Each structure stands twice: as C-alpha cells, then as structure tokens.
Structure 1
Amino acid sequence: MYFLLLQRGYNTGDLSLVYPLARGTGPMLSTVSAIVFFGERPTPIALGGAILIAICVFVLSGDIRQLQKMGTGSTVIYGLLTGTIIAAYTLWDKRAVSTLLIPPLLLDYCSTLGRVALLAPFALRSWDKVRTEWSTHRLEAIGVAFLNPLSYILVLTALVFTPVSYIAPSREISVLIGAFMGTHLLRESDAPRRLFAAAGMMLGMIAIAID
C-alpha cells in the first residue's frame, strides 16, 4: 500500500508536495500512536515538535481553495494516506523487532518477498513498460534496489532498542532533500513556501528526536 499510494501521488502532483506531506505526517502520527499504544512518554518539547509538523503540513499544502483550483486535492490526499501507512508500518515493525524479536534482516527480506508476490501481477500485465524502464533506467533501479532495503534495515535495527518517538522523526531528514530536489532539479512551482514549510517540519522532527 505504501509504494502504490506514493507512486500514485507522484503521478498526480509535484515531488516537493507529495514527499514532505507523506514523510512529515508519518512521524507525527507514529509519535501520537506510540504514546497511546506503547505507553511512550515524550517531553513537552517533543509534543511541540509534533504540533509544528502538523502546522507545516497545512502551510506546505497551501490554501485549500487554491488547491482545488489547481487540481491538487488528490495529491494532498495521497500524501496524507501515505503518511498514515508510514505510521502504521512503523508501529508494527517496532512490535516485530522489539517484542516478537524478529531479526531486522529477516523481517525486511520477508517483506520484500511479500511485495514481489503482490506486485508481480501488475508488472506482468505491463511487461512492455517494465522492459522499457529496465533498458533506460537500469542503474537507477539497481541503486534503489540496494539503498532502499539497506536504509530500512538500519531503521529496524535502531527500533530494536530505541522508542518509536525517537526513530520515526529522525529518519525524516530526507524531507528537506526531497523538497530541494523537487524545487531546484525538477523546477517545481512555489519553491519559497514549500522549502519554508519543509524546514519547519524538519525543526519539528528535531524537537521530537531530542526528547
């Protein structure tokens, strides 16, 4: 669900809008859920960081009426849904590695097998597109295939002995990088507001992480 929703979001809107929305709401929801379900007790500074993230999400999204005119409403929905999925799988993975004691490498390996099984029918139905993408973006695909699981194995390893309210926000340093790439490399519009909001979200994440 995470990968499908994120790709749908990228299909309908700008990277600098979808990515910060998804990665910003994820740690906020993870922190709140960890308090409710796992009994974690972050300090007022961390809670302030969560509120700052929520405010910046709306700043990043812009005026609701303008979004409707621009036709970006579905983009915002995909971003928020992706953030919700991030929070859900973060909580589940925390339970898996710290309570059920599943080794991080094994958990990521089985998750990859599950994604292959679920997505294979979609790939087979569009095999011509798969071949085209492989021939034109082979190096990029190999890079993602290596770096994506490696990064999350490191996250899972940290979750074994660290509260969710620390790990979930600290891994979102990529929000600023994603916003920068979207506005500078991809020449997406409204750069000052989006970068300002992304920076505010980053400060909120730092506040949560120093709890």
Structure 2
Amino acid sequence: MDLVVLLVVLLSALLQTGWNVLLKLRLDPLSALTLVVLGGGAVALPVALALGPPEPVLWPWMAGSMSAHLAFYGCLVGAYARADLGLVYPVARGGALLMTAAIAILVLHEPVRPIGVAGIALLSASVLVTAWHSRGEATQAAALALALGSGAAVTAFSLIDGTAGRLGSPSVYTAWLFVADAVLVALGLMLWKGTGFFGPVRRHWALALIGGAMLFVSYYLCVWAMTRAPISLVAAVRESSVLFSAGFAVWVLHEKLRPERLLAAVLVVAGVTLIKLH
C-alpha cells in the first residue's frame, strides 16, 4: 500500500475512534449518536452544496449505504448501553474486518497478495484479542450480539461505499450521504421520540459539530482510500483504530488497562507493517 494512502487511513482510524469515544462521554448513547450524526450532516451540507448534486449512478448506492447506517446506529447504541467501549468497539470492528476482507477477496476477487492477507489476519487478531476478557461473561451476551450486528452493517456499507467511490466522486458521494443520513435520522427520531427529544440534545451543539466533523472527515478519507487501494486492505488498516480505542478507553474513560490490550497493540503494528509492504 502506498505510504500516503496508509497515513490517510491511519488518520481516518484515529478520527473514527474519537467520535466513538464521544458516545461514552456526558450523554446517553442515543443522544450522543444523534449529536454526531446531525453534526456530521451540518458539517457536510456546505460541502455538498459547493460540490453540486451526486451523479444519478450514485443514488442507489447511497440508499443502500443509508440503510446499512441505520442498522449500524441501532446496534451500536444498544451495545454501548450494555457494555463498555473496550468490549463493544473491538468486537464490532473486528467482526466487520473479517467479513469485509472475506467478501472483498473471495467474492469481489480483489488482488491481495499473501503478505496482505497476513497483515489482515494480524489486525483481525488484534481486535479479537482486545475483547477476549469478556468471553465468559454471560451478562454481556446481548452486547456482543449487537456489536456483531453493527459489524455486519459496517461490512455492508464498507463494500457499498468502496464501490460507489470508484463509480463517481468520493467527495460528492460522502458529502451528500452525510446530509441524507442526518435528515433521515432526524425524521426518524421525531416520529419515534417526538420533537421534545431534541430539546436537551441541542444544548450540546459544539459537541455535535466536533464529533460530526470527525465522523465526516474520517469517512471521506476512508472512501477516498478505497479508490486507491483494495477495500480489504483499507478496511484492515482502518481497524488499527482498536489501538487508539484502547488508549482512549484507559486514559479518557478510565477503563482498566489489561494485558490483552498491550498484545493487541503489538499485533496492530505488525499487521500495518505487512500491509505497508504489500
């Protein structure tokens, strides 16, 4: 993988972790996720208007991605309400990585050499090792199921977005996708919770813009990278966010530092190194 593309994906991974950490700060998961999605739409709107409307060929791909996003948001909020970041994030992203890589390589026949597959395997191991401590906790079963569901949704929109980015402009696609996502989520919440739900949430508009900007930039960088490198490799490197996630979980959320997280860090570095050599 080209060094520039690698650095772009690592930056995307860092930003990806940042907005996930926001879901565990100050607000309940649903309110926090609402802020991030609406904030992302607000940040993307001027970009979308400046770039102009998406090409018609991108419309069905946007619809598919939006559907996967709704499933992802629902599963993620449910999982974060039941377990901590250190469990939910690795399971969700690790499951997504394995599923995305398998489909991209075996079904889409992406040209990935053995060294790239080895890198994917190491990164997969890193995210699964991070969640190993919760393997025997029956009380976490619902959280694990929801985390895996969000991973399946990530797989769906990763493959959709990677394909769409190659069919049209990645920037136009991402900007309008975020605007449409925000509108859809706002309408859905109004029907479900009523307009009163937005009263307490809107007081945190600064948090919404910060988290939304991180989500939007992270997403765009990932879509752009998938137009320059195989989707499976981009998805794998982006899951190095498990390393950033472990750091944030300990230093920001004050979760316990466990040996498996240190082992995961070593696996991340090894996996990214192999993919760089691909």
In which range does the TM-score fall when normalised by the shorter chain?
A: 0.7 to 0.9
More divergent stretch after superposition (57-66 vs 169-178): 57-66
**Deviation digits for residues 36-66 of structure 1 (CA, Å, limit 9, x no counterpart):** 2221232223323333344445433336762
Question: Matched residue pairs, number?
Answer: 205
Determine whether 1:10 maps to 2:80: yes
**Deviation digits for residues 145-179 of structure 1 (CA, Å, limit 9, x no counterpart):** 22211221122122223211221122233221112
* Structure-1 residue corresponding to 2:14: none
- Could you tell me how far apart the structure 1 residues matched to 2:128 and 2:215 are? 28
- Could you tell me how far apart the structure 1 residues matched to 2:246 and 2:83 are? 13
Q: Which segments of 5 or more consecutive residues in structure 2 lack a partner in the other structure? A: 1-70
| One-letter identity of the residue aligned with 1:12 | R
Q: What is the aligned counterpart of 1:25 among 70, 88, 95?
A: 95
More divergent stretch after superposition (11-20 vs 57-66): 57-66
Determine whether 1:162 maps to 2:242: no
Determine whether 1:131 maps to 2:131: no
Q: Which segments of 5 or more consecutive residues in structure 1 lack a partner in the other structure? A: none
Q: What is the aligned counterpart of 1:173 among 218, 240, 244?
A: 240
Check conservation: 1:49, 1:203, Cα contact below 8 A.
no
| Two-structure CA RMSD over aligned residues (Å) | 2.4
Offset of 1:127 from its aligned partner? Answer: 3.4
Q: What is the aligned counterpart of 1:72 among 140, 144, 148?
A: 140
Q: 1:88 to 1:203 in 2, by over 3 A?
A: farther
TM-score (norm 2): 0.65
Q: What is the aligned counterpart of 2:261 among 171, 195, 198?
A: 195
- Could you tell me how far apart the structure 1 residues matched to 2:229 and 2:135 are? 41
Secondary structure at 1:42's aligned position in 2? coil
More divergent stretch after superposition (201-210 vs 124-133): 201-210
TM-score (norm 1): 0.83
- Could you tell me how far apart the structure 2 residues matched to 1:169 and 1:209 are? 11
| One-letter identity of the residue aligned with 2:168 | I
| One-letter identity of the residue aligned with 2:227 | V
| One-letter identity of the residue aligned with 1:3 | Y
Offset of 1:197 from its aligned partner? Answer: 5.2
